[in-house]
Chain A
Amino acid sequence: MSSIFTKRLTKELRDLQANPPMGITVQTAEDDLKCWRVTVRGAEGTLYEGETFVLQFKFNNNYPLESPEVVFVDNVPIHPHIYSNGHICLSILYDQWSPALTISSVCLSILSMLSSATKKERPPDNAMYILTAKKSPKSTTWAFHDDSV
């Protein structure tokens, strides 16, 4: 494991625990920091107000040069860009990833995506996708076409 991986994740964990952004709480970071669970709370005044969801982050050794694998576990929010298996259609998690992004900024992006939803609904191709999708959302070829939500 490269030293940059451990150093950076340790630092991110410390920062997140010391001053977490609004509505974001780190639950656990286990297995040598390779798997994190983060609780996000729906922002006030949005469709998801009062609801809490759990995001699972899995890092491989190339983090932060490669994006983490981010999925919703347990209670998956109903959102036009979130499939019922927890996969999230969000460009920064796949080909728009940048090593300057952090776990905290990813969580904030997802929260913002939830907040800008105008209607609670599954993506139109949800049934098809969950039949064919692999376990990791990173093996899906994503097409990003909707900037509004």
Chain B
Amino acid sequence: MPQIEETQQNVPTIGTQEQPPTPSRPSSYSFDAASLRQRNAPLREAVGSSTMSATASTASPSESDRDDEGNEFECNICLEMASNPIVTLCGHLFCWPCLHRWMQSRSPSANACPVCKAKVERSKLVPIYARGRQSKDPREEVIPERPTAQRPEAAPSQANRGWDNFFFPGGTIPTGNGITVGFGLFPSLFGLHYTFGVPAHLGSRDRQAQVAQQQAFLSRICMMVGILVMIAILLY
């Protein structure tokens, strides 16, 4: 304690002498490191070895507690670490065998996420491929293969972008992108081979509507050009 008082008295004399009482107020809060160490020293000595043994004994239960409740990757059904993990679109994690059994169950809400009741579709589940090795589960034998991920096509490089339009990622939409528009009377002149670059992110209905619209527009242009050519032939 004498050290503290010494520093407190030194400060006001160096600083402004007009207000000597002000530094005394913060004095109760301001300690220097040495005095703090001194204050704590007897306490540390008194507790001494008992704290050492205490920390050693408390360490193990806290770790086991963490094992019990701190697992972030528990399946919401079996409450174990998820094996063959799969995640729903609503973000809830399950073992694939557990979720599959739930979806096959007779329960009226079997097509809903057990946690949040959001609709769950098998094709929209996302498997999680972690690096850890998969422990073989006997349940897998009766459970069908976990749904695979839906991997989009690789992003097209600049060089062959035009050709990539012919292949739909995943190849699911049968309405082709390449549309050939021919004009009956002058096939050699007006046989247009036209490919549309329709944004792939549109829904299939939107895409069809857009294709139909473009088709109508093109045929109108063809018709006009054709009529103009006919008039030109007739006049000359």
Contact = CB atoms under 8 A, between A and B. Distances in A.
Contacts, number: 50
A97 B107 contact: yes
Given A4-B78, A65-B107, A99 B69 contact: no
Interface stretch (B6-14, B98-106, B162-170, B215-223): B98-106
Contacts of B77: 4, 8, 64-65, 99-100
A95 B110 CA distance: 10
Contacts of B5: none
B68 A99 contact: no
A31 to B, nearest CB: 21
Nearest to B105: A65
Given A12-B79, A14-B68, A64-B77, A98 B109 contact: yes
A95 B102 CA distance: 13
Given A65-B105, A66-B105, A66-B107, A99 B98 contact: yes
Contacts of A96: 109
A65 B97 CA distance: 12
A60 B55 CA distance: 44
Contact of A99 (B76, B80, B108): B76
Residue of A18, A65, A96 ringed by the most chain B CB atoms within 10 A:
A65
Question: Chain B interface secondary structure, helix, strand, loop or mixed?
Answer: loop
Nearest to A2: B139
Given A15-B69, A98-B114, A100-B114, A65 B101 contact: yes
Nearest to B76: A100
Chain A contact residues: helix, strand, loop or mixed: loop
Interface residues of B, number: 19
A22 to B, nearest CB: 17
B39 interface: no
B161 interface: no
A99 B102 contact: yes
A98 B78 contact: no
A93 B158 CA distance: 58
Contacts of B79: 7-8, 11-12, 102
Given A15-B68, A64-B77, A99 B109 contact: no
Given A15-B69, A65-B101, A65-B102, A95 B107 contact: yes
Given A7-B78, A11-B79, A18-B68, 11 more contacts: A8-B78, A8-B80, A65-B105, A65-B107, A66-B105, A95-B109, A98-B115, A98-B117, A99-B114, A100-B76, A100-B115
18 contacts: A8-B77, A8-B78, A8-B80, A11-B79, A65-B77, A65-B101, A65-B105, A65-B107, A66-B107, A95-B108, A95-B109, A96-B109, A98-B114, A99-B76, A99-B77, A100-B77, A100-B92, A100-B115
